[in-house]
Amino acid sequence: MAKRLLSALLCVCVFATLLSGIAFGAATNIKVTSAGYFSNGDVKTLSIDFGWDTASAASRLTIMTTRLRSEGEEGTDKYYGDFTDLGYYGRAFSSWDEVTAQAGKFGMLLATDEHKMEYGKTNSLTLYFEEGDIPMNVDRTYYVYLWTYYGGHYYPDNLFMVLQVKNGEFKFAPAKGRNDYGSFTLLKGGVATTPEFKDVKKSDYFFEPVNWAVQKAITNGTSNTAFSPNATCTRAQILTFLWRAAGSPQPTGANPYKDVKTSDYFYKVALWAKEKGIYNPGGTTFGPNAQCTRASTVEYFWRFAGAPSAERVPFSDVTESSTLDKAVSWAVRKGITNGTGGTAFSPNTTCTRAQIVTFLHRYYVTALDNSQLITDLINAATRTVTSMTLDPNPPEDYRKQPDWYGILTPPAKMSDERLLAEYENIQKVIEDFRKRDIYMSDGPYSRELDLWSEVSRRRLDR
């Protein structure tokens, strides 16, 4: 079987201990939290949570799988069990090249990434396959093994898990010990399973985007039961979402950043974003933990799409002809996002995880219909106030005319120009009464509230 890449994304940290020279670790409590599929049904991604039962000296995880050939299939012998059976357990390989050379002999899928394990905590891992690696239309079994890096050498380690496709259904089984594969769990009909997040309800606007993003392996939860939709998104996170949505392409350039290490989950992301012009600060600092604002988010999306041109959509808090103005206009016309009320875009407001996956879902799946919003914003930007007759102002002594508020024109019956003029007028009157210490009851305040409500409903607030 051809060599394939499995990219593993893990939380990393390890403590050292020696046990007979080398202490090999093993995975525990393996759980597949979600799966993604290609359009033809082949397995594309697996997201896995698992524990790590050993603090191994400088231990690293690499992934290698060997395929058990189906009965009657031409090729080399079948392979069962683990590396003990194959005569490899405990053998030292001096380089990763020696490890990858085993692929030709055993028909293995390979991971070139190495990741330190976190002892005593839940590790999260996503395996990425290429189309055809694990096809859904044949009976195939794959054994996934761990390799450990210690003292400059790679060592075959214990069996990690078993993957199997049978009768068009994908199964997985945790390996509790050598040749003990546990119970298979079935993902029926090639339909991806998704975690049941306690903080994501069906009534939430982000319910469908979250499940879509998890199934597409764009992101996962912050735990087995939580997605943390209201947590703010960092630069590293949103660019990682975009990178995965693009198919996790491999960058080719060198790393110019002092704050980006090869062991960081966003290492390839940072280099890719620079190469594609999505985010290129032009210096040696990437700033992975910078909070993502609405401004930076739409600019990333805009550059991700190739910086297309779009007719301007005027927001009162976005400077005309700026880079942000071009990005916002495109994003609103594309239906990725809209305003925050009235004529405001609120570029400096930080974005949450829920909002980012929703933007992605709108970009790839279902866009907003912003046609009415765009019309209203253009009308608001080009509006001119003409001469008109306004309603009478409150009397100097409001106590003498208590029926004043009841004879005024309802805001809903006013034109936009009249409504804005009345709203501005009543605000000036109230301020004037306050300065002169003239008595006012609730009438002017109620009038101001009524006018403001209608202004907001029509999105005329400025």
> Would you say 235 and 287 are in contact if contact means Cβ atoms under 8 Å apart?
yes
pLDDT at 127: 74
Q: Which residue has the higher pLDDT, 261 or 124?
A: 261
Angle at 278 between CA 10 and CA 110, to 5 degrees: 35
- Reported for 204-210, long-range contacts at CB under 8 A and 24+ positions apart, including other chains, are 204/229, 204/354, 205/354, 205/358, 206/354, 206/355, 206/357, 206/358, 208/361, 209/354, 209/357, 209/358, 209/360, 209/361, 209/362, 210/354, 210/357
Q: What's phi and psi for 4, nearest 5 deg? A: -135, 160
Nearest to 47, CA basis, from 59, 61, 62, 37: 37
Query: What is the phi-psi region of residue 307: left when phi exceeds 0, alpha when psi lies from -120 to 50, beta otherwise?
Result: left
pLDDT (0 to 100) of residue 17: 27
pLDDT digit string, tens, across residues 175-188 = 665 555 666 666 54
Query: Is a pLDDT exceeding 90 seen at residue 3?
Result: no
Rounded to the nearest integer, the mean pLDDT of the chain is 77
Average pLDDT over residues 166-173: 69
Least confident interval from 17-21, 159-163, 193-197, 223-227: 17-21
Across 135-149, 181-195, 287-301, 312-326, least confident range: 181-195
Q: What does the buried/exposed string (b/e) look like for 95-115 if buried means 16 or more CB atoms within 10 Å of the residue's CB?
A: eeeebbebbeebbbbbbebbb
Longest alpha-carbon distance in the chain = 103
Name the pLDDT band for 166 (thresholds 50, 70, 90): low
- pLDDT grade for 462, boundaries at 50, 70 and 90: low
pLDDT in the model for residue 32? 73
Is the pLDDT score of 25 beyond 80?
A: no
Predicted pLDDT of residue 194: 56
Integer Cα distance of 106 and 93 in angstroms:
16
